[in-house]
Amino acid sequence: MTQVTALDLPMLDPLPERMAKYFAICEEKLGLIPNVLQAYAFDEEKLNAFSALYNDVMLAESGLTKLEREMIAVAVSAVNRCFYCLVAHGAAVRELSGDPQLGEALVMNYRVADLNARQRAMLDFAVLMTEASYTIEEGDRQGLRNVGFTDRDIWDIAATAGFYNMTNRMASAVDMRPNADYHAKHR
């Protein structure tokens, strides 16, 4: 296996049973084990914490679709120039939308993408949160309400943007590399 970060933190060997099952499910569903999971696999507790937060933010019940959450991941990652997340989540946007151009536009500059008012407001808020969260005021939240988001949806937008701001910084700090398979997927 190739090294997935610049740090010398080898995966546990053998993998604990729960971790091995999780990796097997990823392999079955995705055709690969995302390098982000392999990066965290040096410590079972850290992998469990990361996976639990990811599952809550990206897969739990929400007024946001999976595609919308992936769009937030890409827009935030573009601001942060996170190579890992742009490649991995750009592929997810291409897959979920069926639109390779949307995935590419979001990676380059979400403002050029063909977005509806709801999506544009959501990404504007996520990017504002990424670039200058201290400037957010009630008017920014009201702008989201005006295009149909509930207060719970606003929480989920903020949680998704916050999660990717954290993971972008971790991925950049440890030079996490995306799986090569992501580059060609859904183009």
Residue 11, domain member (yes or no): no
Residue 145: other Cβ atoms inside 10 A: 14
pTM for the whole thing?
0.95
pLDDT tens per residue, range 77-122: 999 999 999 999 999 999 999 999 999 999 999 999 999 999 999 9
- Looking at the fold, whether 117 and 154 belong to one and the same domain comes out as yes
> Would you say residue 1 has pLDDT above 70?
no
| Same domain flag for 146 and 123 | yes
Same domain, 125 and 86: yes
pLDDT tens, residue by residue, 12-34: 999 999 999 999 999 999 999 99
Is residue 116 included in any domain, yes or no?
yes
Could you tell me if 34 and 106 lie in one domain? no
Region of 175 (left: φ > 0; alpha: ψ -120 to 50; beta: rest) is left
Is the pLDDT at 7 greater than 70? The verdict is yes
Residues 130, 171, single domain; the answer is yes
Q: What is the pLDDT of residue 181?
A: 83
Q: Is the pLDDT of residue 172 over 70?
A: yes
Q: Are the C-beta atoms of residues 79 and 107 closer than 8 Å to each other?
A: no
Residue 99: which CATH number? Answer: 1.20.1290.10
Q: What is the DSSP string of 55-102?
A: HHHHHSS-SS-HHHHHHHHHHHHHHHT-HHHHHHHHHHHHHHHS-HHH
Q: Supply the range of the domain harboring residue 148.
A: 66-184
Q: Which of 123, 136, 135, 109 is nearest to 164 (CA)?
A: 123
Residues 47 and 72 in one domain: no
pLDDT of 139 over the 70 cut = yes
User: Average per-residue pLDDT in the chain?
Assistant: 95
Angstrom distance (rounded) from CA 183 to CA 121 = 28
CB 35 within 8 A of CB 177: yes
Among 59, 90, 109, the domain boundary falls at 59
Task: Quote the number of domains for the chain.
Answer: 2
- Domain of 47, CATH number, reads 1.20.5.810
Q: Could you tell me the two tokens for 127?
A: 């990017």
